[in-house]
Chains A and B, each alone.
Chain A
């Protein structure tokens, strides 16, 4: 069993021009165990992507206070690749495009990166696994011979993130808006992929704006984040309440002093 603990996490970013540090996360507490699916919802600009990027280790985000523990071990000073090899995965809101490197080649390199030198995956086993997952995600084999994300449509990129997830089999997946820009069929396919991962050895933190995704991937826990903090935690019903009340309603219920982007 694995456990990912976020403890009183404060994170700042520094503006390139003014060199001013701005605090984005202001004390986040969160514990996810394998076997659980958590969802985070929250208004634009609240710090959801910041949280997932900080857990993964993106350079722009400075942890100024608090800690992130993976199976009891602090990872805040670990480089990104090491965190990945320890079992973290981030499905990105905007995956990078890399020309000249095929999707298949990359997938193999990623799988081998977490295996020992003398235990690299055989071509046969790799292809078997790949075929199985392509099938489940309704993707054509041709996609794997194309360069990594290059020229992929928005939806294809998201599907490709899930393909990577299924091939790499991390213990914790942070999925940042995997539903954005997806048509309804693609949404079902992507959900099918994540649901296929569900089990005792897999936990996930899903960031989304839409309750609809959570009809397909039913979360065990739902968190609402506002202004760099988790302000409410509940079960799957919380997302539905939110759908009805909106963030303003929730804020007023909780008596929070937070400005929302689309107010004024």
Chain B
């Protein structure tokens, strides 16, 4: 079998991009990425082997999705994409007047060429970051662009809803680019789920460029279907005195590789990455969550919590990377996995790469069973074992739940968690 980089020719790729009326620079970027694919490797997820996963597709096609298959309510400040089709964009007039841009990425590439050109896969994620990043850039078929100009603040989160169209064969190769200007303050909630049960791959990226003194609150709620093989890469480039908090609810039902990183490039930058994951049945999920301290006096904090059921596998790698020169910086991390089944396999690895003396770094990791004394205590007050376990698990995952700014999304995540727990099987 030929690999995808052998299947896709440069001619075919540029013809494909032209059909989409893409500017030349973007087409060149695709071609370059296609070239880069030939020499790059898959991202390394320590203690997680996914070498035989089919993470790319040679199907290059512009595919329409039928919006009548969906019934979704459209909120203010939201964008909904179904497969490659943008179904709706809603942005409050007030935000439009302040210069906020919310649109699909290809429209943005035509209408705001400098903004997209300067920020798309240049500052946070590079096309030669790894093989799957170059594949992503070459074969991109959908995307979202959010731009918040300097000094703009708003409370109501922007909601980005991606629905993978698995009513048909159609790989989801999607890129969300968020540019937060200096002194901005806002929240974004991205939800991804799958419609239909066709086996498909998802290759979805999010880039956040957080400029000086911006405060960006990101929440990602992933709920891809069990027949979706997913590669999710998310990265933020955090500027001077900027803060990025990112909460991720990894609730996919299918096999998934998550590659999350926040780079504290500017002095005084701060980031928090919080990840919860539940795995069940024979699902396999490997997640890298990293924070890189580059600027001086930067503060990074990673918190990962997972619950594993049935025969599933979950690997959490927490990567704290303090580069030389990042003096006065801090790197904290905690990775914990709760085993609800003896057949499940969990791995929580703190990885500290420190090339600077004047720093504070700490880590904690554990893989263990539900605390029996907690269960006993709750049951001694009359709570059934099932309810007691639910409460203990919810408490265990609580730190991430509370980081999500919208109560409705928080509730939704709790519901998904409950459903996953009820659906999976626990065994002693």
The contact sample of 24 A-B pairs, CB cut-off 8 A, is A57-B380, A58-B376, A59-B372, A81-B380, A81-B382, A81-B385, A84-B382, A85-B382, A89-B380, A95-B377, A98-B377, A98-B378, A98-B391, A98-B395, A99-B395, A99-B398, A100-B391, A101-B392, A106-B381, A106-B391, A110-B383, A113-B382, A113-B387, A114-B382
Q: Are A101 and B391 in contact, with the CB atoms below 8 A?
A: yes
- Does the CB pair B387–A109 fall under 8 Å? yes
A90 beta carbon closer than 8 Å to chain B: yes
Cα–Cα distance between A57 and B373 once the two chains are bound (Å): 12
Residues of B within 8 A of A168 (CB): 381-382
User: Is A92 touching B398 in the complex (CB atoms < 8 A)?
Assistant: no
Asked if B381 and A110 make an inter-chain contact with CB atoms under 8 angstroms apart, the answer reads yes
- Interface size of B by Cβ–Cβ distance < 8 Å? 25
Contact B377 A96 (CB under 8 A): yes
Cα separation A134 to B420 with both chains bound (whole Å)? 37
Q: A80-B376, A81-B384 are in contact. List 9 more A-B contacts (CB 8 A).
A: A80-B379, A80-B380, A84-B379, A84-B382, A96-B376, A98-B392, A99-B398, A109-B383, A113-B383
B371 within 8 A of A: yes
Q: Is B374 located at the chain interface by the 8 A CB criterion?
A: yes
Asked whether B395 lies within 8 Å of A100 as measured between CB atoms, the reply is yes
Chain A residue contacts of B380, Cβ below 8 A: 56-57, 80-81, 84, 89-90, 92
Q: Is B383 a contact partner of A81 (Cβ separation < 8 A)?
A: yes
- A120 → B minimal CB distance (Å): 13
Interface residues of A, Cβ cutoff 8 Å to B: 56-59, 79-81, 84-85, 89-90, 92, 95-101, 106, 109-110, 113-114, 147, 164, 168
User: In the complex, A101→B322 CA distance in Å?
Assistant: 35
**Chain A CB within 8 A of B244 CB:** no
Do B371 and A96 touch across chains, with their CB atoms under 8 A apart?
Answer: yes
Least distance between B33 CB and chain A CB atoms (Å)? 43
Chain A residues positioned under 8 Å from B388 (CB to CB)? 81
Contact A113 B381 (CB under 8 A): yes
B50 at the interface (CB under 8 A from A): no
CB distance from B92 to the nearest CB of A (A): 34
Q: Which residue of B lies closest to A109 (CB)?
A: B383
Report chain B residues within 8 Å CB of A98.
374, 377-378, 391-392, 395
Q: Which residues of A contact B396 (CB under 8 A)?
A: 99-100
Given contacts A81-B382, A81-B384, contact A59 B376 (CB under 8 A): yes
- The reply to whether the CB of B397 lies closer than 8 angstroms to some CB of chain A is yes
- Taking a contact as CB atoms under 8 Å apart, the answer to whether A96 and B384 are in contact is no
Q: Which residues of B contact A101 (CB under 8 A)?
A: 391-392, 394-395
| Contact pattern, B 384-409, Cβ under 8 Å of A = 1, otherwise 0 | 11011001101111110100000000
Which B residues are in CB contact (< 8 Å) with A106? 378, 381, 391
A168 to B396, CA, bound (A): 25
Residue in B closest to A147 when the chains form the complex, CB atoms: B395
Task: Say whether B379 contacts A79, CB under 8 Å.
Answer: yes
**Which residues in B have their C-beta under 8 angstroms from that of A114?**
382
